[in-house]
């Protein structure tokens, strides 16, 4: 399947960006060109915003219950088109079909949460003094922007767009330049679901487009999801321009493995976590800290990882540069004295010789100071550090600058509590490799994995995408006066 040019979506219609810079979009599966897009200009952004502001003014007058109706229809459209949407993710991102389908399933769950927002956004009303009532209500912010990464072309946009829209905002989505196609389908289906024109918009581009978004005075809030390096730039630039910002960054997630863990459960969960989406997940297990003698479990884990088939149960990584970066980490660890137990370098998938594949890789006897064990690798690579005590394991986890996820594998409730209480991560798991909180809980890490406050999904997103108004009312003249009358 080759796609038409990926265009901007503005006021309900597709339109090319107006610079002269054309970008090629390459499929990681075989290195072939899938589509192109044209870099957008600041004038393109101005045009989108002028329509978006007009549409948002009308949209905020529609009640939340009525706005939610669009998302019931949208959910049905996601379900109906699931196979085609899955195929698009497979082609542009390179993950395997099951993982691509899981993204659509998650987009559906996120949309269900948007449909349920009327049950959560009910405000408060209280008699604060005799005959005097104070009520809180929530209003939309206006035009908001969502800047997203390559690794989840559909799920991560759905983290923000459905809630932001249902809560009465207009949204501008800036997709990753590596995977701009899924956003075209999101735009098409939201329109088909009955979302009025101008409320959902797509702007394609790279760094300059993000900078224009950060600087535009009429964008009230920005969510960013991507690497820590860019999260910091976006957070600083947009906050400096007095916008509300939530910027999620990269990750280095630790697994604390204790010798009493259930072998099958630990092995299957850890292998799925390190290899799922080719390790290109901000929740992927990346460094395993084995406490004491965990050899039986580790041998099982290595055996399970060996069964993974590149090109069948393991997808591609996003680009040639990503493949080279990941393989570089493995080579460097080898030179530094770590033992490569399973080596995914130089993997070639028959029939897909030009694809970008890295096989599952397990590195034993890594140390906490090695880049492979310390930095975000973003590939199907698991480093094992061996320690004697839980305190040593926690010291390594706590010292890492990131703080997205940490999971412990044990059958002891007390030890599990001890690890989750003391880990420096926003999302912790017990016997779960990918501890993603599901709605209505919110998604968000700590430390250098998140800049700004609150979570990006779930109930927390209500606070981010709305502003609260408090109204104090007195109707009864006999209520008299008091200190605040």
| Tokens encoding 24 | 């090629």
| Tokens encoding 411 | 């059958």
Beginning with the edge strand found earlier in the chain, give each strand of the sheet holding 466-474 in spatial order. 124-129, 132-140, 466-474
Q: Is 282 a catalytic residue?
A: yes
Gap between the Cα atoms of 211 and 149, Å rounded: 15
Considering the complex, what minimum distance in angstroms separates the CB of residue 52 from ligand NAD?
19
User: Rg (Cα) of the chain, in Å, rounded?
Assistant: 24
For ligand NAD, which is the closer residue by CB, 17 or 250? 250
Q: Is 207 exposed, middle or buried (0-12, 13-18, 19+ CB in 10 A)?
A: exposed
Considering the complex, what minimum distance in angstroms separates the CB of residue 173 from ligand NAD?
10
Return residues touching ligand NAD (CB under 6 A). Answer: 147-151, 156, 174, 176-177, 206-207, 210, 225-227, 230, 233, 248-251, 282, 376, 378, 404, 445, 449
Considering the complex, what minimum distance in angstroms separates the CB of residue 23 from ligand NAD?
10
For ligand NAD, which is the closer residue by CB, 319 or 420? 319
∠ CA 282-453-281, rounded to 5°? 5
For ligand NAD, which is the closer residue by CB, 52 or 248? 248
Give the residue at shortest CB distance from ligand NAD.
226
For ligand NAD, which is the closer residue by CB, 376 or 397? 376
- Taking alpha carbons only, the member of 31, 34, 35 closest to residue 16 is 35
Considering the complex, what minimum distance in angstroms separates the CB of residue 130 from ligand NAD?
48
DSSP string, 68-124: HHHHHHHHHHHHHTHHHHHHHHHHHH---HHHHHHHHHHHHHHHHHHHTHHHH---E
Gap between the Cα atoms of 148 and 141, Å rounded: 20
For ligand NAD, which is the closer residue by CB, 222 or 251? 251
Considering the complex, what minimum distance in angstroms separates the CB of residue 202 from ligand NAD?
12
DSSP string, 278-319: GG-STT-EEEEEEES--HHHHHHHHHHHHT--BTTTB---S-
For ligand NAD, which is the closer residue by CB, 258 or 282? 282
Catalytic residue among 282, 294, 310, 406: 282
∠ CA 279-176-250, rounded to 5°? 45
For ligand NAD, which is the closer residue by CB, 121 or 436? 436
> Please, which residues have CB within 8 angstroms of residue 277's CB and are 6 or more apart in sequence?
95, 99, 151, 152, 284, 315
For ligand NAD, which is the closer residue by CB, 267 or 278? 278
| Tokens encoding 48 | 């989108």
Considering the complex, what minimum distance in angstroms separates the CB of residue 414 from ligand NAD?
30
**Cβ atoms 431, 409 nearer than 8 A:** yes
Residues paired with residue 173 on neighbouring β-strands, in sequence order: 146, 202
For ligand NAD, which is the closer residue by CB, 177 or 364? 177
**Cβ atoms 148, 155 nearer than 8 A:** no
Give the sign of the dihedral formed by CA 114, CA 115, CA 116, CA 120.
positive
Gap between the Cα atoms of 245 and 451, Å rounded: 8
Considering the complex, what minimum distance in angstroms separates the CB of residue 447 from ligand NAD?
11
- Taking alpha carbons only, the member of 372, 437, 365, 431 closest to residue 400 is 372
Considering the complex, what minimum distance in angstroms separates the CB of residue 40 from ligand NAD?
11
Considering the complex, what minimum distance in angstroms separates the CB of residue 247 from ligand NAD?
9
**Would you please indicate which residues are annotated as catalytic (active-site) residues?**
282
């Amino acid at each position: 399947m080759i796609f038409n040019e990926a265009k901007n979506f503005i006021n309900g219609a597709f339109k090319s960006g107006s610079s002269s810079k054309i970008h090629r979009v390459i499929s990681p599966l075989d290195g072939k060109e899938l589509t192109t897009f044209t870099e957008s200009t600041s004038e393109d952004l101005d045009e989108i915003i002028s329509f978006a502001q007009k549409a948002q003014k009308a949209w905020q007058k529609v009640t939340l219950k009525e706005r939610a109706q669009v998302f019931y229809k949208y959910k049905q459209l996601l379900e109906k088109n699931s196979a085609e949407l899955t195929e698009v993710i497979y082609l542009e991102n390179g993950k395997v079909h099951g993982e691509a389908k899981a993204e659509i399933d998650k987009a559906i769950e996120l949309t269900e949460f948007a449909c349920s927002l009327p049950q959560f956004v009910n405000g408060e009303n209280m008699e604060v003094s005799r005959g005097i009532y104070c009520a809180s209500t929530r209003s939309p912010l206006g035009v908001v922007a969502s800047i997203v990464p390559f690794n989840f072309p559909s799920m991560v946009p759905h983290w923000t767009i459905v809630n932001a829209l249902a809560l009465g905002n207009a949204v501008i989505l800036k997709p990753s330049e590596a995977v701009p196609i899924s956003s075209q389908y999101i735009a098409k289906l939201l329109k088909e679901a009955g979302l009025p024109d101008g409320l959902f918009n797509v702007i394609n581009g790279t760094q300059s487009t993000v900078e224009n978004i950060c600087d535009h005075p009429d964008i009230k809030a920005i969510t960013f999801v991507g690497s820590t390096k860019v999260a910091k730039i976006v957070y600083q630039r947009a906050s400096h321009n007095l916008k509300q910002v939530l910027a999620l960054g990269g990750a280095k997630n630790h697994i604390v493995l204790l010798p009493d863990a259930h072998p099958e459960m630990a092995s299957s969960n850890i292998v799925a976590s390190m290899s799922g989406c080719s390790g290109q997940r901000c929740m992927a297990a990346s460094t395993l800290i084995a406490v004491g003698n965990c050899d039986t479990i580790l041998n099982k884990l290595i055996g399970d990882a060996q069964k993974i088939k590149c090109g069948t149960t393991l997808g591609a990584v996003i680009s040639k540069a990503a493949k080279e970066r990941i393989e570089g980490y493995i080579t460097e660890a080898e030179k530094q004295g770590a033992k490569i137990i399973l080596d995914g370098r130089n993997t070639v998938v028959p029939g897909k010789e030009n694809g970008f594949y890295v096989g599952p890789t397990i590195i034993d006897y890594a140390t906490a100071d090695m880049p492979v064990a310390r930095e975000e690798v973003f590939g199907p690579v698991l480093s094992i550090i061996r320690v004697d005590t839980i305190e040593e394991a926690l010291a390594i986890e706590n010292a890492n600058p990131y703080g997205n996820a940490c999971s412990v594998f044990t059958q002891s409730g007390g030890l599990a509590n001890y690890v989750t209480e003391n880990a420096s991560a926003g999302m912790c798991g017990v016997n779960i490799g990918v501890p993603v909180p599901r709605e209505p809980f919110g998604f968000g890490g700590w430390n250098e994995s998140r800049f700004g406050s609150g979570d990006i999904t779930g109930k927390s997103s209500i606070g981010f995408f709305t502003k609260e108004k408090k109204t104090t009312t007195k109707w009864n003249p006999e209520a008299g006066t008091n200190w605040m009358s």
